[in-house]
């Protein structure tokens, strides 16, 4: 018995964390790779460097009544396309965009982002690519990448798979918070064009475009009606509207009253989030060019109602704008590179049971 016990102790004496599937050296390599990337997002309010237990960020003393704003989101099954294509940088942009676009509709300025990457086995080159995209998203939105976590979780994910999440924190003067209480009947509805699908509806998009029972397209094939491959069209990063919208917010006499990010729930569920319960809108989508990826999905038998409930259909953001200032706001946004469409106007809802969003010509 003594010999058996000694043999067992000897067999287990060399057991390491790596034998359980966690590679500490790979984790350290990943951190070393991303250090220089993270520095490119640094803001002057940061009080420490990467590597601490927590990030520290000072609020500006010029704010009279600051209100912190926070949002958390992920990228969803768009990640499965990135994994299949072995293209991991653009989803980092998506990760930032999904939170900062939610945040900016309040009128807030994004201050910093915290990211979380979870995988079964760390591939430092993948982490580096993902974080390069996160940093690009932070630069586009003016936010710092203040900190994050990379978790290696053996057995939790299929080989090569990972998941992403991020939280964005921003600040807005209380008196400048946008929202439904500011919106008036007669306000003009401006739509800002999306860059394709952004990061919503990918379970349906993948089924319609990639599964053999439907379109059965390869990621490398040309998307019908487009000069992009299917993979490139699916991986176009979510457009970040922060800098252009904040420039429009700064116009004299605050002509923008509220905004709605067209994210999960599409054009049916998101526009009401910027309206009071007694208000409604009728949107004229004929003014928005239909991106080939939406046409290709719809061609697989997806109804227009389902398209509108699932996807942005070419409109990534709605703005509710004072009517006599709508041209000024649209011009400012166009000068900053946005494609802007006048989609309708806010009206009284009338019947409380009536839908808050209808579509011109229906």
Task: Select the more confidently predicted residue: 210 or 59.
Answer: 210
Beta carbons within 10 angstroms of residue 98's beta carbon: 29
Cα–Cα distances in Å, from 2 out to 11, 15, 21, 284? 14, 21, 31, 83
Look up the pTM and report it: 0.91
| pLDDT for the residue 18 | 78
What is the set of domains in the chain, with CATH numbers?
Answer: 14-175 (3.30.1330.10), 180-359 (3.90.650.10)
Pairing of strands 144-152, 162-173: unpaired
| pLDDT for the residue 360 | 87
Picking from 235, 199, 248, the residue whose alpha carbon sits closest to that of residue 100 is 199
| pLDDT for the residue 277 | 96
What length does the chain have? 362
Instruction: Reply yes or no on whether the pLDDT at 22 is more than 80.
Output: no
Q: Which residues pair with 300 in a beta bridge?
A: none
Cα–Cα distances in Å, from 279 out to 179, 186, 256, 272, 329? 13, 10, 17, 8, 22
Region of poorest pLDDT, from 9-23, 174-188, 292-306: 9-23
Q: pLDDT tier at 21 (50, 70, 90 boundaries)? A: confident
CA trace torsion 189, 193, 194, 195 (10° rounding) = 180
- C-alpha span between 315 and 135 (Å, rounded): 25
The DSSP 8-state label assigned to residue 182 in this structure reads G
Instruction: Give the three-class secondary structure for 17.
Output: helix
Radius of gyration over every alpha carbon of the chain, rounded to an integer in angstroms:
23
Convert the pLDDT of each residue in 297-345 to its tens digit: 999 999 999 999 999 999 999 999 999 999 999 999 999 999 999 999 9
> What sign for the dihedral angle of Cα 116, 146, 27, 232?
positive
Convert the pLDDT of each residue in 92-141 to its tens digit: 999 999 999 999 999 999 999 999 999 999 888 899 999 999 999 999 99
């Amino acid at each position: 018995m003594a010999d058996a016990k000694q043999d067992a102790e000897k067999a287990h004496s060399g057991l390491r964390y790596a034998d359980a599937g966690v590679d500490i050296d790979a984790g350290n390599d990943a951190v070393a790779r991303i250090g220089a990337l993270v520095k490119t997002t640094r803001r002057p309010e940061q009080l420490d460097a990467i590597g601490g237990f927590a990030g520290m960020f000072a609020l500006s003393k010029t704010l009279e009544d600051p209100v912190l704003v926070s949002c958390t989101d992920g990228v969803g099954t768009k990640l499965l396309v990135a994994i299949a294509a072995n293209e991991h940088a653009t989803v980092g942009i998506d990760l930032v965009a999904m939170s900062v676009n939610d945040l900016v509709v309040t009128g807030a300025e994004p201050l910093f982002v915290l990211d979380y990457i979870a995988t079964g086995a760390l591939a430092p080159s993948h982490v580096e690519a993902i974080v390069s995209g996160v940093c690009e998203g932070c630069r586009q939105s003016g936010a710092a990448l203040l900190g994050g976590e990379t978790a290696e979780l053996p057995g939790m994910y299929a080989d090569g798979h990972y998941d992403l999440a991020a939280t964005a924190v921003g600040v807005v003067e209380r008196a400048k918070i946008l929202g439904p209480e500011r919106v008036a009947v007669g306000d003009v509805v401006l739509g800002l064009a999306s860059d394709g699908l952004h990061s919503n509806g990918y379970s349906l998009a993948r089924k319609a475009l990639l599964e053999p029972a439907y379109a059965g397209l390869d990621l490398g094939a040309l998307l019908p009606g487009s000069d992009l491959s299917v993979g490139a069209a699916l991986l176009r990063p979510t457009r970040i509207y922060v800098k252009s919208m904040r420039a429009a917010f700064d116009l004299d006499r605050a002509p923008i009253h509220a905004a709605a990010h067209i994210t999960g729930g599409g054009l049916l569920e998101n526009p009401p989030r910027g309206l009071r319960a007694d208000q409604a809108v009728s949107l004229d989508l004929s003014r928005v060019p239909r991106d080939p990826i939406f046409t290709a999905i719809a061609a697989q038998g997806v109804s227009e109602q389902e398209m509108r409930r699932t996807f942005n259909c070419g409109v990534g953001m709605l703005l509710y704008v004072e009517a006599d200032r709508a041209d000024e706001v649209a011009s400012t946004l166009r000068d900053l590179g946005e494609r802007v469409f006048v989609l309708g106007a806010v009206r009284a809802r009338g019947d409380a049971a009536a839908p808050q969003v209808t579509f011109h010509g229906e």
